[in-house]
Amino acid sequence: MRTIRQIADEFGLSLRTLRYYEQRGLIKSKRFSSDKSLRMYDDEDHARVAQVVRWVRMGFMLSEIENDAIDVHKLRAQLQYIYDRMAELETAALLIKEEIRSKSHS
């Protein structure tokens, strides 16, 4: 079993983010203590947190994750979106470099 702090530290998340994911139903924890404030995560909960974090880092919206709507078609579409965005960013970087060069020679 892991505490919410251990999970947060492992995945580089804030406690608030983990609580929000739990509130949205994306993840679950086991509640302990008289006021149910102590959250603990077993191996299954940990695996779910890991999967949610992976999908978020891939750029999926929480609503897609909530509905477990991440299938191979969504993955392919997201990959294409990322490739398209990378091309746009490369173009922007080249334009910025050109602008820097032109201003440096002025």
Predicted confidence at residue 69, as pLDDT, reads 85
Query: pLDDT for 17-64, tens place per residue?
Result: 999 999 999 999 988 766 667 889 999 999 999 999 999 999 999 999
Predicted confidence at residue 34, as pLDDT, reads 65
**pTM to 2 decimals?**
0.81
Q: Which of 21-35, 44-58, 68-82, 85-99 has the lowest mean pLDDT?
A: 21-35
Average pLDDT, stretch 83-89? 98
The helix (H) or strand (E) run that includes residue 39 is strand 38-41
Structural domains in the chain (count): 2
Q: Are residues 52 and 102 in the same domain?
A: no
Alpha helices in 12-71 (DSSP H): 15-23, 43-57, 62-66
Q: Are residues 4 and 34 in the same domain?
A: yes
Q: Are residues 50 and 87 in the same domain?
A: no
